[in-house]
Structure 1
């Protein structure tokens, strides 16, 4: 465990001992640094934009699918696969939903009074005593999905009631696994929240069977309600952008890091890499995270923020800004 902004950095999903080595190497140094520097991590009083360095990197390296437009860094999809049509994905009519989705027993009801677009949404309300099922789900087989393709499923949800977060699961499987096994993304939705768009990656390797993809939306028992609308399945491509982070001469330490993407809910994976040997210094980075412990591993040498974004045919992803904060020597 390595301390981060809210307590610890935790590395997961490392498959073997060889992969673990780069992460164990800095452990002793960061552990000692953490012991010697208890308390909250300094956010940094010296702010620096890394966007000029990012633009220069794009000009010099010309990464696939990434270009500069109007001073912005734009990631585009250039594949031949188009959006996969989903019968009943807008939940506008009983006929289309009945044809396109299967439920656990009866399908959850359509709600013509609440919708993000169109004429209706589907309402998960599994809390009413005596009703069955109390844990409803809807499944959709998608024969049009291509084998060995990378997709993203996006959807809009709205919640009401319940004092606690509402759990909402999005499952995927191929037809040889379904219904015995599904891989789930587990969301904790804020109660009484207006419409928000969520995205879930759909990736696989040598999946077999026909259809190659089955989607599931599942709401375990709750005291609230969830409305689901506008389910879309888009192909995406991974675009990788390396952003040099260069500490200024008057920096004494690292602070917080932040970046802004457009659209604001664009899916992004971020790590910090050592440019000398390309090993990962920090995994699963999020906007606003504090990277102060880097000083125990690399001091104030330049590092690289590696962003992976996923444009689709209908949507480019734009990097609007990158800000890195440092503590200054005068602090």
Structure 2
């Protein structure tokens, strides 16, 4: 039976989360502080830890860092997903947490409870991402949240990024990326490795609440040679740019006046995940030949994007599925592989290099 350690300074929240997970069949123990959690880890040896983001004394980021260094376990952050809590939660995802879920309040408890149970089950099968320079990243994370100047540590970037440029490609094409659980760290590994002259725009559907995607886009923009923006409104799709779909919505490719446009739309009914990968890929296939599209399906639970990227593959487009060795959760890429829809199965660190080999900087893919 899956064992879960619930860490929260609120007695009410500990009871509420523990009750939800116990009813779902998990064996649960609780801890009121980060120190109690660290003491419990080697004794209880949980399969998953749920960790409050904001706690007095040892805060959630510090506790997460200690867990990942001393007793690596899949960690699910539990957050209000608003304001400073959202900022800290995104930092936790960068530092190795598997996923984040909303705190179960008094309203809408059933939907939140279902999401919590589903996330903990997926986390139990995940592998914690090994994060280089974790202690230094933790220090910088706190500095950024406190509003201090941020400087990327040397171990994050192999060489200075070249000056940005919008090198107009000679061929119209798009890279479509779908990602969920474990996504922020995976995107930070792939996107900074693409040079400023990369010819095709990149559109990313990352399953994430609306309060996260703007912060994620700004963070990626800081460390990428390409420009990274949140697609919070309709905007022209241009080379040299990465478009992060706005959280809680879906993203479509449209055409206006002969130009491709990234257009956020309300969540499509019947789709369980948002921003939805299938919606993004379907819209691109309506406007461009499959040969002008590259699909990349990365870590995440579920099957979003698998069917449409398999269709893209059958129609002559090219696709990459992240391999099990690097995926935090192998669900989404595994579903693409099962559908015989992947041209290549690659670990995340090799994805950018393959995109460069296929597309290059002149768009003559």
Instruction: Confirm or deny a common fold (TM above 0.5).
Output: no
Q: Structure 1 or 2: larger strand share?
A: 1
Q: Structure 1 or 2: larger helix share?
A: 2
Q: Which has the larger radius of gyration?
A: 1
Ranked by relative contact order (alpha carbons within 8 Å, sequence separation 6 or more), the top structure is 1
TM-score, normalising length: structure 2? 0.26
TM-score, normalising length: structure 1? 0.28
